[in-house]
Amino acid sequence: MDPSTLPDMPEPLFDAFPPVSTEAWNAQVRADLGDADPESVLVWESLEGVSPRAFYRAEDRAGLPHLEGVPLADTAEAPANRWRLRQDVMHPDLETARRHVQTALAGGATDIGLAMNVVDHAVHGAPIQRPADLDMLLQDVDLAATPVHCSGGPAALLMWAMLCNIAEARGTALSALAGSTDFDPIAALAHHRMASADRAFDAAAEAVRAATDTTPSARLLSIDLRPYHAAGASAVQQLAYALGACSELLVQLRNRACKPEDVAGTLQWIVPVETSYFVAIAKLRALRLLIPQVLAPFAVETTPSAPSIQAVTARREETIYGRHANVLRGTTKAAAAIIGGCDVLTVRPFTAAAEAPSDFAMRLARNTQLILREETHLDHVADPAAGSYYIEMLTDALAHPAWSQFQDLEGAGGLLEALQSGSVQAQIATVRTQRMTEVAQRDRVLVGTNHYPDLSENALERDTAAPSAVPLDRGDRSVTTDEARSLPALQARFDDGAALGDVLPAFTGAGTPSFDALPTFRLGAPFEALRRRTEAWAARHDGAPRVILLPMGDPARRSGRATFARHVFGVAGFAVEEHMGFETAGDAAQAAADAAADIAVLCSADDAYPALVPALRNALTARHADPIVVVAGAKPHQREALEEAGADAFIHRDRPLLDTLNEFQQRLGID
């Protein structure tokens, strides 16, 4: 392009403003905070293993060693952020799942995920039990042009064997298959999908040989961070355990005659992305920095841009109540994954925590990525976070402790030994307990679940049942242990009519797990269980427990406390009746009696409670009404006297909300 044809560039925007020194910034901060310590006020104490400051300056990032390699992308080959849009198909009805595949590809998805899990001899998710099921599911899909990703741990490798059979039957070269499996031997052991470590690593070695010989474009092994994230691990712990899993894998497979470069060539990294936006971005970037360091001792030379990273929006923050907030959470997570530099991204449907996804939920999940690409233009820049003071500092702050924890792990014998000793489970449990405490105390808000509830929402009245499962199909084709050790032999058995139920037990092997499984939890689950108990009780009685709010006195104080009380009891699924205010205790008591209230919440100012509580109790007694009288927000020193005056209970911010609501349920006979 001729430079003379370009429009005149505007004058630099900020040249008219003199630079402000760090000393001047800090002086202003101290002046604004007064007696408060800036380090205690402006430093975020997170559970992710880092405590970032409120702001950073250019000099803070000076000397960060990784900046020499920024951007963390191969801009020669990918000058823009060309991530691939994956959509997972998980509906338990085969015809519906087939339609979801077709709709996803027509609607902009580039990759298809087949999500399936076998638990207690039942298939959850896409019901793929024979090659014919998979053939129907992928009807009219060009396997050479569309990467197919198989999820299900050990079962994913069996799905891949079926996929190879279908490709050969269709005349598609196996070398053209560019999908993946999520098989991670340590993840399989950590979730008790396999019991024998030897069997798990034997299967991994077979996957490497299959990839090297027949499907070099596929990624048949994974380092999966989801088991650690789902158990509650911090970002630093997730990175450290992922590096430990990679090191363990390389050592184990080298002992099984697999070349480290072949292992690395078929390896992908699966990263769950949470709503902690900047930490999520930095976690992906820190992982890219650390992977070459763990590969280097095995004589595998690579760069931060080379590893294949699949990101998936994390399940841990998803909720059943206020489920439309999951759309916002998913968007935040997706943006973080893209800016962090993922190669493939999966956005889970906003209803996935509770039900098989509908067409609408699938479309929203897919369109989240399309909007971020087509309207937000996040695909225009490779490694858009490069150079950001805040994110570069966070990247470094995650990478250093993660590497240190990884070294400690290696020094103690490696990740597998740490799992067998229980130390990993204990370390994660400490963080998980802190996370659950934050939610129980409402220090961490889950909109619609532990705060800002939708009082009209009732999970029992909508289709929120867990996705239905189908029994694991067994034919009459027995599979020997030796056959199960070879993917080509398993392909032959599937061709011979074997079903998933014939093959999977022999493939995973027998035995008793040698360590406790990593748990899977969602942050909102305790509050969801609480609310479901209320809904079940309401279905057996004349509706949910009735709570009436009784605002009295100063309008400003009563309004704030009435709103607080509404959110507290709404979280438990109680029926809350609201009023603008009452002039007298008699009027308030009459309203409570007319409503046949189970709980009456007095909402007023602290100095008004000593007079209002006995007046309300006397007025209720005169009307033969006996609800639980609750005082909203009274000071601690008042409570003993107010109890003597007739208050039965108090709601306030000093006590965990979950404990408070459990006690109210017990008093009402809800179990």
How far is the C-alpha of 225 from the C-alpha of 334, rounded, in Å?
A: 17
Half-sphere exposure (CA, 13 Å, Cβ side) for 311? 29
**CATH no. for 525-668:** 3.40.50.280
Which stretch of 12-16, 400-404, 482-486 has the lowest confidence by average pLDDT?
A: 12-16
Q: What is the pLDDT of residues 552-611, one digit of tens each?
A: 999 999 999 999 999 999 999 999 999 999 999 999 999 999 999 999 999 999 999 999
For range 279-287, the mean pLDDT:
97
Give the other-Cβ count within 10 Å of 621's Cβ: 12
CATH 3.40.50.280 placement within the chain:
525-668
Confidence of residue 3 (pLDDT cuts 50, 70, 90): low
Give the other-Cβ count within 10 Å of 246's Cβ: 25
What integer pLDDT is reported at residue 133 of this predicted model? Answer: 96
Confidence of residue 79 (pLDDT cuts 50, 70, 90): low
Using DSSP's 3-state secondary structure scheme, residue 36 falls into: coil
Which stretch of 18-22, 184-188, 206-210, 311-315 has the lowest confidence by average pLDDT?
A: 18-22
How far is the C-alpha of 612 from the C-alpha of 68, rounded, in Å?
A: 68
What integer pLDDT is reported at residue 473 of this predicted model? Answer: 86
Q: What is the pLDDT of residues 30-60, one digit of tens each?
A: 899 888 887 778 888 889 999 888 889 889 8
- The answer for 198, left when phi > 0, alpha when psi is -120 to 50, beta otherwise, is alpha
For range 141-150, the mean pLDDT:
98
What integer pLDDT is reported at residue 78 of this predicted model? Answer: 63
For range 377-397, the mean pLDDT:
92
- % of residues, the chain, pLDDT over 90: 79
Give the other-Cβ count within 10 Å of 187's Cβ: 23
CATH 3.20.20.240 placement within the chain:
68-452
Nearest one of 504, 427, 434 to 154, comparing CA atoms: 504
Q: What is the pLDDT of residues 461-518, one digit of tens each?
A: 665 455 578 889 887 777 888 888 888 999 999 999 999 999 999 999 888 888 999 9
Integer angstrom CA distances of residue 462 from 193, 354, 368, 466, 585: 32, 11, 24, 12, 40
Higher per-residue pLDDT: 119 or 288: 288
Beta partners for residue 221, in sequence order: 267
> What integer best gives the mean pLDDT of the chain?
93
Confidence of residue 277 (pLDDT cuts 50, 70, 90): very high
Answer yes or no: is pLDDT of 131 > 50.
yes
How far is the C-alpha of 454 from the C-alpha of 30, rounded, in Å?
A: 41
Using DSSP's 3-state secondary structure scheme, residue 141 falls into: coil
| Torsion of the alpha carbons at 612, 615, 617 and 623, rounded to the nearest 10 | -130
Kindly give the interhelix angle for 277-295 and 325-340, rounded to the nearest 10 degrees: 40
Answer yes or no: is pLDDT of 4 > 70.
no
CB-CB contact of 630 with 602 (8 Å): yes
> The whole model's pTM is what?
0.94
Given the DSSP bridges, would you call strands 122-125 and 470-471 parallel, antiparallel or unpaired?
antiparallel
Answer yes or no: is pLDDT of 670 > 90.
yes
Half-sphere exposure (CA, 13 Å, Cβ side) for 25? 9
Confidence of residue 1 (pLDDT cuts 50, 70, 90): very low
Task: Please report the DSSP string for 317-354 in residue order.
Answer: T--STTTTHHHHHHHHHHHHHHHHT-SEEEPPPTTTTT
Domain 68-452 annotated CATH 3.20.20.240: yes
Using DSSP's 3-state secondary structure scheme, residue 369 falls into: helix
What integer pLDDT is reported at residue 573 of this predicted model? Answer: 96
The type of residue at 585 is A
The pair phi, psi for residue 65, each rounded to 5°, is -65, -30
What integer pLDDT is reported at residue 463 of this predicted model? Answer: 53
How far is the C-alpha of 108 from the C-alpha of 100, rounded, in Å?
A: 12
Answer yes or no: is pLDDT of 442 > 70.
yes
* Angle subtended at Cα 453 by Cα 450 and Cα 458, rounded to the nearest 5 degrees: 110
Q: Alpha helix (H) ranges present in 422-471?
A: 423-440
Confidence of residue 92 (pLDDT cuts 50, 70, 90): very high
